[in-house]
Structure 1
Amino acid sequence: MIQYALKCSEGHSFDSWFQSAEAYDKLASVGMVTCAVCGCMQVEKAVMTPRVRPARNARKESEIRSAPEQKIDVATPSPEVEKVLAEMRRHVEENSDYVGKDFASEARKIHLGEAPERAIYGEAKLDEAKSLIEDGVPVAPLPFVPSRKTN
């Protein structure tokens, strides 16, 4: 695993973990790396400082092992995260067409010029999403489950 400091064209800075440098390059080349703050797809690596701990300030390994573990409750999102996700959902729903389970076929049609270009969102199976990425169709997973519309 590798952690990169990233920044988007809107000026937001954030960190993200990737399986490897090659995994980052592959995801970035197909537009799958998006800003964690605004969802912008124009993201690049930021200048990073190395994590080097000077020996004179380093704690002994036995002190680190005996230090009490800090508990982080990942099951309860913070209000700030909930607010950002709600705003992202609102923005997606107001500015995109919901295509439901036809997402993969509709995204492919748009990519090939067989359907009018527009922002869409919906649902796709994992193998369908991988196929879209391999074919160069710019798609990104949403950090929420779309609410199903009946029409």
Structure 2
Amino acid sequence: MKVLDLQCGGGHVFEGWFASEDDFQQQKQRGLVQCPLCADAHIEKRLSAPRLNLGAREPAAAAPSVALSSSAPSAAPRAPSAEGNSRPVADAGGMPPPALQAAWLALARKIVASTEDVGERFAQEARRMHHGEQPERPIRGQATPQETLELLEEGIAVLPLPLPAAAKETLQ
């Protein structure tokens, strides 16, 4: 099994597991390797350290967190964490850290799992629920910018939310 660090054209970093290098190349050529966040098929391998399984060892103690002083220059914007320390919002290239990407993908999957996809009927279904013609339920779908504006003007609360294709299916 070969574990590769991959990156899409949009800069999202993720991990892929393949039987071999040839398997990765074949899947990439067939367009089967896509970014789990944006579904971009322009995937490149990143440098990664090999994983060597040399036997079980005692887990090392976690390194203590270090808060940067406010006078230290930072390449990325920082946001306060629950502990009050600063943590990066994005890396120097403007991309969110992998933990944030994973959290976004998990949230997107939860939204997909708890809503009904009504597709291009979204505006009509939202109106029918708003006017009491059918019971309210959580829905998602597609609407044009014009339809979205009309729904908002009618007082129907909608939220444009681009969901990555990977949120709509299970990863294998």
TM-score range, shorter chain: 0.3 to 0.5
Q: Which protein has the bigger helix share?
A: 1
Question: TM-score when scaled to structure 2?
Answer: 0.41
Higher Rg: 2
Question: TM-score when scaled to structure 1?
Answer: 0.46
